Amino acid sequence: MRTIVYVDGFNLYYRALRQNPQYKWLNVKILAEEILDDSNSIIGVKYYTARVSARVDHDAPKRQQIYFDALLTIPELEIFRGNFIVNKTYAALAPPPQDGKSPFKPWPSVVRVVKTEEKGSDVNLGVHLVRDAFTDEFDVAAVISNDTDLVEPIRIVREEVGKPVGILSPVNRPAKDLEAVASFLRHIRHGHLARAQFPNPLPREAEAPLSRPASWAQMDP
């Protein structure tokens, strides 16, 4: 079955990789092959993300670019970029503790926070999923995400186009709305992540090998 894998990069990162840096050097095509059936022939991997800002972490854009370069060694993979926005804004503060042990007196009503937002990835993923279904680009789609904004695109593909869409969930308890609309559900386990790592260094045909960013933890032997 011709299979396209749609990867919500930020959702995968925050749900499965941020707390497990030893798995960040991730080959998403091999990850999908680890989870899907042998009958799924992966003909495309579409990775949705945005360039991160150096305002939060000075070295983050450099590490991200190294990872983008690693992903682009996968022949079937395309990267689609949204926008990453960093703003300083004011937010209401929750009421003070009722036990009187507040560290702040008087208790402030608002605080100024650094707010980061990723814009466009879920929209791009949903639009491409629906378009590819209507143009018969795949027999089966697999979506790596736990974002409920994708419920309606998945429903359209399943009910109006008649093609199966599965969820490869980066969380143990996926959103109920996603689970209800998906044709099938598979969980991404630590073992899948461990077996889907790029080699380090990663050789390339016409360019210098890529090395995993030093700040990412090494896997246990």
75 with 97, same domain? no
How far apart, in whole angstroms, are the C-alpha atoms of residue 7 and residue 181?
A: 18
200 within a domain of the structure (yes/no): no
Contact, 30 vs 39, CB < 8 A? no
- Tens digit of pLDDT per residue, the chain (221 long)? 999 999 999 999 999 999 999 999 999 999 999 999 999 999 999 999 998 878 778 999 999 999 999 999 999 999 999 755 555 566 677 777 777 666 666 667 776 655 456 555 899 999 999 999 999 999 999 999 999 999 999 999 999 999 999 999 999 999 999 999 999 999 999 999 999 999 999 999 999 999 999 989 754 43
Residue-range definition of the domain harbouring residue 46: 2-82+120-195
Domain count, the chain: 2
Question: Domain with 63 in it: what CATH number?
Answer: 3.40.50.1010
Question: Can you give the C-alpha Rg of the chain in angstroms?
Answer: 20
Using a cut of 0.75, tell me whether the model's pTM lies above it: yes
35 with 108, same domain? no
C-beta atoms surrounding 188 within 10 Å = 23
Q: Which residues of 109-125 are buried (b: 16+ CB within 10 A; e: fewer)?
A: eeeeeeeeebeebbebb
Contact, 8 vs 122, CB < 8 A? yes
